[in-house]
Protein backbone atom coordinates (compact mmCIF):
# COMPACT_ATOMS: atom_id res chain seq x y z
CA UNK A 1 0.00 0.00 0.00
CA UNK A 2 2.67 2.51 1.00
CA UNK A 3 5.61 3.21 -1.28
CA UNK A 4 8.87 5.06 -1.36
CA UNK A 5 7.36 8.30 -0.01
CA UNK A 6 6.30 6.48 3.15
CA UNK A 7 9.81 5.03 3.60
CA UNK A 8 11.51 8.40 2.98
CA UNK A 9 9.25 10.19 5.47
CA UNK A 10 9.87 7.68 8.24
CA UNK A 11 13.65 7.64 7.62
CA UNK A 12 13.85 11.42 8.19
CA UNK A 13 14.94 12.67 11.63
CA UNK A 14 12.14 13.87 13.91
CA UNK A 15 11.59 17.63 13.99
CA UNK A 16 12.83 19.52 17.05
CA UNK A 17 12.34 23.25 17.73
CA UNK A 18 16.10 23.82 17.39
CA UNK A 19 16.47 21.91 14.09
CA UNK A 20 18.96 23.57 11.73
CA UNK A 21 17.63 25.21 8.58
CA UNK A 22 18.01 23.28 5.34
CA UNK A 23 17.76 19.80 6.91
CA UNK A 24 15.09 17.25 6.04
CA UNK A 25 12.97 16.63 9.14
CA UNK A 26 9.79 14.72 9.93
CA UNK A 27 6.74 15.58 12.01
CA UNK A 28 3.54 13.67 12.78
CA UNK A 29 0.43 15.47 13.96
CA UNK A 30 -3.01 16.88 13.29
CA UNK A 31 -3.64 19.26 10.38
CA UNK A 32 -4.92 22.80 11.05
CA UNK A 33 -5.86 25.32 8.39
CA UNK A 34 -4.95 29.00 8.64
CA UNK A 35 -4.67 30.14 5.02
CA UNK A 36 -7.99 29.01 3.62
CA UNK A 37 -8.63 25.65 2.04
CA UNK A 38 -9.01 23.85 -1.26
CA UNK A 39 -11.86 21.78 -2.58
CA UNK A 40 -10.83 18.37 -3.83
CA UNK A 41 -11.71 18.43 -7.53
CA UNK A 42 -13.58 15.16 -7.80
CA UNK A 43 -15.18 14.70 -4.39
CA UNK A 44 -15.65 18.42 -3.66
CA UNK A 45 -14.47 17.86 -0.05
CA UNK A 46 -12.67 20.59 1.91
CA UNK A 47 -8.92 19.92 2.18
CA UNK A 48 -5.49 21.54 2.49
CA UNK A 49 -3.88 19.28 -0.12
CA UNK A 50 -4.93 16.84 -2.80
CA UNK A 51 -3.36 14.57 -5.35
CA UNK A 52 -5.38 13.39 -8.30
CA UNK A 53 -4.44 10.81 -10.96
CA UNK A 54 -6.55 11.16 -14.09
CA UNK A 55 -6.90 8.89 -17.10
CA UNK A 56 -8.53 10.65 -20.03
CA UNK A 57 -10.48 8.50 -22.46
CA UNK A 58 -9.02 7.77 -25.88
CA UNK A 59 -10.08 10.33 -28.48
CA UNK A 60 -10.96 9.46 -32.04
CA UNK A 61 -8.70 11.24 -34.56
CA UNK A 62 -9.96 10.50 -38.04
CA UNK A 63 -9.47 6.81 -38.80
CA UNK A 64 -7.32 6.37 -35.66
CA UNK A 65 -7.87 6.72 -31.95
CA UNK A 66 -5.36 8.38 -29.65
CA UNK A 67 -4.15 6.54 -26.56
CA UNK A 68 -5.58 7.54 -23.23
CA UNK A 69 -3.65 10.32 -21.50
CA UNK A 70 -2.53 10.05 -17.86
CA UNK A 71 -2.24 13.20 -15.77
CA UNK A 72 -1.25 13.74 -12.12
CA UNK A 73 -1.91 16.99 -10.29
CA UNK A 74 -0.96 17.87 -6.70
CA UNK A 75 -2.08 21.10 -5.03
CA UNK A 76 -1.53 22.41 -1.51
CA UNK A 77 -2.41 25.39 0.67
CA UNK A 78 -0.35 26.64 3.58
CA UNK A 79 -1.34 24.76 6.73
CA UNK A 80 -0.09 23.94 10.21
CA UNK A 81 0.66 20.66 11.96
CA UNK A 82 0.11 20.38 15.70
CA UNK A 83 2.65 18.02 17.27
CA UNK A 84 4.28 17.41 20.67
CA UNK A 85 6.59 20.42 20.18
CA UNK A 86 3.78 22.86 19.33
CA UNK A 87 2.98 23.89 15.76
CA UNK A 88 4.99 23.79 12.57
CA UNK A 89 3.79 25.59 9.45
CA UNK A 90 3.85 23.87 6.06
CA UNK A 91 4.18 25.53 2.66
CA UNK A 92 5.13 23.94 -0.64
CA UNK A 93 4.29 24.04 -4.31
CA UNK A 94 6.14 20.74 -4.63
CA UNK A 95 4.66 17.78 -2.75
CA UNK A 96 4.22 14.04 -3.01
CA UNK A 97 1.26 12.40 -1.26
CA UNK A 98 1.39 8.72 -0.36
CA UNK A 99 -2.14 8.36 0.98
CA UNK A 100 -5.10 6.09 0.28
CA UNK A 101 -6.71 7.01 -3.05
CA UNK A 102 -10.41 6.81 -3.83
CA UNK A 103 -11.28 5.70 -7.35
CA UNK A 104 -13.79 7.58 -9.43
CA UNK A 105 -15.26 5.98 -12.50
CA UNK A 106 -18.74 7.47 -12.67
CA UNK A 107 -18.89 10.54 -14.95
CA UNK A 108 -22.44 11.23 -13.75
CA UNK A 109 -21.02 12.16 -10.30
CA UNK A 110 -19.88 15.55 -11.57
CA UNK A 111 -19.78 18.58 -9.29
CA UNK A 112 -18.85 22.23 -9.71
CA UNK A 113 -15.30 21.70 -8.42
CA UNK A 114 -14.71 18.91 -10.97
CA UNK A 115 -16.11 20.96 -13.86
CA UNK A 116 -13.90 23.93 -12.93
CA UNK A 117 -10.82 21.70 -12.51
CA UNK A 118 -11.39 20.11 -15.94
CA UNK A 119 -11.99 23.48 -17.64
CA UNK A 120 -8.80 25.01 -16.17
CA UNK A 121 -6.65 22.06 -17.27
CA UNK A 122 -8.45 21.20 -20.50
CA UNK A 123 -9.24 17.72 -19.24
CA UNK A 124 -12.29 15.75 -20.32
CA UNK A 125 -14.95 15.71 -17.57
CA UNK A 126 -15.62 12.04 -18.34
CA UNK A 127 -12.10 11.08 -17.26
CA UNK A 128 -11.59 8.40 -14.63
CA UNK A 129 -8.93 8.08 -11.97
CA UNK A 130 -8.31 8.43 -8.25
CA UNK A 131 -8.01 11.17 -5.64
CA UNK A 132 -6.25 11.48 -2.26
CA UNK A 133 -6.82 14.39 0.10
CA UNK A 134 -5.46 15.86 3.34
CA UNK A 135 -8.28 17.35 5.40
CA UNK A 136 -8.18 19.60 8.47
CA UNK A 137 -8.05 17.31 11.51
CA UNK A 138 -6.31 14.44 9.68
CA UNK A 139 -3.22 13.04 11.39
CA UNK A 140 -0.35 12.67 8.91
CA UNK A 141 3.42 12.34 8.84
CA UNK A 142 5.23 14.99 6.82
CA UNK A 143 8.88 15.36 5.87
CA UNK A 144 10.18 18.68 4.59
CA UNK A 145 13.08 21.07 4.63
CA UNK A 146 13.37 23.15 7.81
CA UNK A 147 13.03 26.89 7.28
CA UNK A 148 12.61 29.76 9.73
CA UNK A 149 10.47 32.72 8.73
CA UNK A 150 9.94 35.99 10.54
CA UNK A 151 6.65 35.89 12.41
CA UNK A 152 3.83 37.93 10.92
CA UNK A 153 3.23 41.27 12.64
CA UNK A 154 0.46 41.37 15.22
CA UNK A 155 -2.61 43.56 14.82
CA UNK A 156 -0.72 46.72 15.81
CA UNK A 157 1.92 46.09 13.13
CA UNK A 158 4.63 45.31 15.70
CA UNK A 159 6.99 42.38 15.14
CA UNK A 160 8.48 40.91 18.26
CA UNK A 161 11.43 39.35 16.41
CA UNK A 162 10.27 35.77 16.85
CA UNK A 163 10.61 33.38 13.97
CA UNK A 164 8.25 30.60 13.00
CA UNK A 165 9.28 27.06 12.16
CA UNK A 166 8.25 25.90 8.68
CA UNK A 167 8.60 22.71 6.67
CA UNK A 168 8.86 23.39 2.95
CA UNK A 169 9.65 21.54 -0.24
CA UNK A 170 11.33 22.44 -3.49
CA UNK A 171 11.64 20.90 -6.94
CA UNK A 172 14.53 18.63 -5.96
CA UNK A 173 13.25 17.80 -2.47
CA UNK A 174 9.43 17.93 -2.47
CA UNK A 175 7.37 17.90 0.69
CA UNK A 176 6.46 14.29 1.53
CA UNK A 177 3.08 13.44 3.10
CA UNK A 178 1.94 10.00 4.28
CA UNK A 179 -0.10 8.31 6.98
CA UNK A 180 1.69 7.68 10.28
CA UNK A 181 2.87 4.15 11.01
- pLDDT recorded at residue 161: 61
Which position has the higher pLDDT, 151 or 138? 138
Q: What is the average pLDDT across 92-97?
A: 90
Mean pLDDT of all residues belonging to the chain: 84
Pairing relationship of beta strands 24-33 and 86-91 according to DSSP bridges: unpaired
pLDDT tens-digit readout, 34-64 = 889 998 888 889 999 999 988 887 766 666 6
Q: Read off the pLDDT band of 121 (50, 70, 90).
A: confident
Residue 65: is its pLDDT beyond 60? no
177, 3 contact by CB (below 8 A): no
pLDDT value at residue 108: 59
- Give the single-character DSSP code of 12: S
Residue 60 or 72, more confident: 72
- 41 touches 140 (CB < 8 A): no
Paired residues of 54 in beta bridges: 71, 129
Q: How confident is the model at residue 181 (pLDDT cuts 50, 70, 90)?
A: confident
Identify the domain containing residue 23 by its residue range: 4-178
Per-residue confidence (pLDDT) for residue 2, from 0 to 100: 46
CB within 8 A of 117, min separation 6: which ones?
A: 41, 42, 52, 123
| pLDDT at 83 (0 to 100) | 92
**Structural domains of the chain, count:** 1
Amino acid sequence: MFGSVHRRVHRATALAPDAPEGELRRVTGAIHTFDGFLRAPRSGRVCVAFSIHITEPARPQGAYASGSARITSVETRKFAVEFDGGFVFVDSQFAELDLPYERFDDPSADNEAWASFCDQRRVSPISTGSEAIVRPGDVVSIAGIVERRVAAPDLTGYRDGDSQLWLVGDFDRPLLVTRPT
